[in-house]
Structure formats: C-alpha cells, structure tokens
Amino acid sequence: MEEASNFLATKRKKYAVVTGANRGMGFETCKQLASNGVVVVLTARDEKKEMTGQKNWHPAQVNNAAITGVITNTDAVRASTVNGEGANIKWSEVTAQTYDLAKVCLETNYYGAKRTTEALIPLLQLSDSARIVNVSSSSGKLKFVPNEWAKGVFLDDESLSEERIDEVLSKFLNDFKEGEIEAKGWPPFLSAYALSKAAMNASTRILAKRHPNFIVNSVCPGYVKTDMNCQDGILTVEEGSQNIVRLALLPNEGPSGLFFSQKQVSPS
C-alpha cells in the first residue's frame, strides 16, 4: 500500500466509484481508497441505504455488489459456526436454489456490473490512468463448470464476445427452468452465482482487449467474513479489501485482463 500511496502522491487527484459500497467489503474498499488519497463515490443498489459520495469523479471503478442467488438457512449456518465448524459448513445442505433467484442473481452480479461499466466508460476514457476492478469469486473458475460447451465458449478468446456470454447464460437459465441443471452439466451448487462470476471473468478479458489504455482485472478477494456468508469467512473485510484496492491502485504499466485469486494471478 505504501508503494501505491507514493504513486498517487506524484500524480493529480484520483477519483473512484465503488458499487455496492454501503457495507462489508464495499465500504471497507472505500475507506482504504480514501486513506490512499482517492476521492471516493460510494454507491449502493438500494437508494434508501445510507451512503455518501462526491458528485464529480473519474477515473477508477470497482464493481463490488453481488448476491448469491440462493435461499440460505441462516440459523443452521450460525449454529455450525458457533459449534466451530466454520468454513467446513456444507453449503449445499443449508441453501436452496430457485429459477427466479437465479435470474435475479445473473441480472445483479453480471448484467448490473456490465451496464454500470458501460455507462461510466465515457468518463474513464477521459483519464490517462483508468482502472476497472471486477470483484469476482473462485466459485466462478471454469474448473467448477462441468458443461463443456459453456467452458469452451469462455475459453475461446478469439471468438469470445458479450453475445456469446449471453448465449451461455440464456442456455443456463433455460436448463434451470426445465430442471436440468445437473443433467446438462451446470454447477450443482450456487449455480447462478458461479455462472455470474464466470461471465464476469470473461467480460473482464473482453473489456481489457477493447480498451487497451485501461487496466481491467477481476479478483477473488478470498473467503471473507461478510453478511453474504453469515460471517462464516476466514479473512477479515480489511484483508479482503486490500486485494481489491491493490488492483485499483496499479501503476500504468500494471497487468490487465487477468483474474486474481487474492494477490496471485489465477486461471479463470
């Protein structure tokens, strides 16, 4: 963080917007960016949530809002955590998926982040140090997607496009509606969440190729204690947010189009 601070000190004022920032890692990311001299716009999906921000900003962006797309038996999770099981919780036994929740999950995690990015790109293009950081998850790694066709689409960088991503997500939802998730080779657990993050990782590569003057990366911050997992994480929000902020503060010669698992580059 010291190196990033020195970099900021030698340049003009930096501005950032963080989506889904009214609590958890989003809010902590805002705090850490601000401590590095960045003017931060804090945003949230629900306008009724308490939030603060600045009206004028550019150039960095962190897409940080996500939902799991499942119904969770929070009482069972909390009981397991109290009993010391922690990260060994069998999430498939304490969650349930529905088609409607899957649709909302994809709409929020992937399409919401995509539309936000598209709306802000004109401002990012005004900067000589534009950054986009998509907060992803190791759950979206393609090794967890049994469907070979979908995996092939995401891995084929030559023909990868937003339209191709849409095809995969549309096929997934159709198979979900028909009750054929496992039969058609989709992730059996946290299905929509995993697909939304796989799509986000693929979209990150598209954006990086389309905007070579930007630095665009996605990152799994680690298994962090948040409300989304009923505080059943390993890392603190401070530790997880450091992995996000590091990418937002990369120097201009930094890497782009990659997926990071915490601080390390990882296959998506």
Q: Choose, from 15, 99, 111, 193, the residue flagged as catalytic.
A: 193
- Whether 68 shows a pLDDT value over 80: the answer reads no
- pTM above 0.95? no
Could you give the C-alpha distances from 154 to 120, 167, 201, 204, 265, in angstroms and in order?
A: 25, 11, 9, 11, 17
Q: How confident is the model over 120-147, as pLDDT tens digits?
A: 999 999 998 999 999 999 999 999 999 9
State whether the Cα torsion 197-29-211-3 is positive or negative: negative
Backbone angles phi, psi at 133, to 5 degrees: -120, 115
Confidence grade of residue 54 (pLDDT, cut at 50, 70, 90): very low
- Six-digit token pair at 177? 């509606």
For residue 174, the model assigns a pLDDT of: 98
What does pLDDT average to over the chain?
A: 83
110 in active site: no
Q: How confident is the model over 183-237, as pLDDT tens digits?
A: 999 998 889 999 999 999 999 999 999 999 999 999 999 877 766 656 766 788 8
E strand residue ranges, 139-235: 215-220
